[in-house]
């Protein structure tokens, strides 16, 4: 995993803004898990010490089980991925009938993740 995420220098392709390959992998995972994708937005890369972070803002709709599977799939990815934060929005207080309870299983989740590249030389 570390070799696949190691850049020889700061101009290495692994330090490009948003990786199309990573975005393709991410959308494939989301599609495979039958999660509704609302939005993916790459942010500007940030170099901190010997690391380059490329953040992505993601908004999805899914139940808890699919969200857990998504996290598991991100952990298995060949890229080093940090889950910076996530926010889960549900409507538990609006549960008034069996139909609305079933609808509650579909939660909106906002996530900020970052791919991490290790820079061998500055």
pLDDT digits (tens, 9 = 90+) for 3-31: 666 665 556 665 565 578 889 999 999 99
Nearest to 41 by CA among 22, 70, 18, 16: 18
Q: Are 121 and 15 in contact (CB under 8 A)?
A: no
- The mean pLDDT of the chain is 83
Q: What is the pTM of this model?
A: 0.80
pLDDT digits (tens, 9 = 90+) for 74-109: 999 988 999 999 999 876 655 565 655 566 678 899
Q: What is the pLDDT of residue 86?
A: 96
Helix segments in 8-97, DSSP class H: 20-32, 64-76
What Å distances lie between residue 44 and 35, 59, 113, CA to CA? 26, 18, 13
């Amino acid at each position: 995993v570390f070799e696949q995420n190691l850049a020889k220098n700061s101009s290495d392709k692994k330090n490009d803004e948003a990786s199309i390959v990573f975005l393709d992998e991410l959308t494939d995972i989301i599609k495979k898990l039958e999660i509704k994708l609302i939005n993916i937005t790459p942010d500007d890369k940030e170099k901190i010490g010997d690391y380059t972070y490329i953040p992505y803002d993601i908004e999805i709709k899914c139940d808890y089980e699919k969200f857990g599977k998504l996290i598991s799939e991100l952990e298995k990815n060949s890229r080093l991925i940090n889950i910076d934060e996530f926010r889960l929005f549900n409507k538990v207080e609006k549960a008034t009938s069996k139909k609305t309870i079933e609808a509650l299983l579909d939660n909106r989740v906002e996530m900020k993740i970052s791919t991490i590249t290790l820079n061998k030389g500055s």
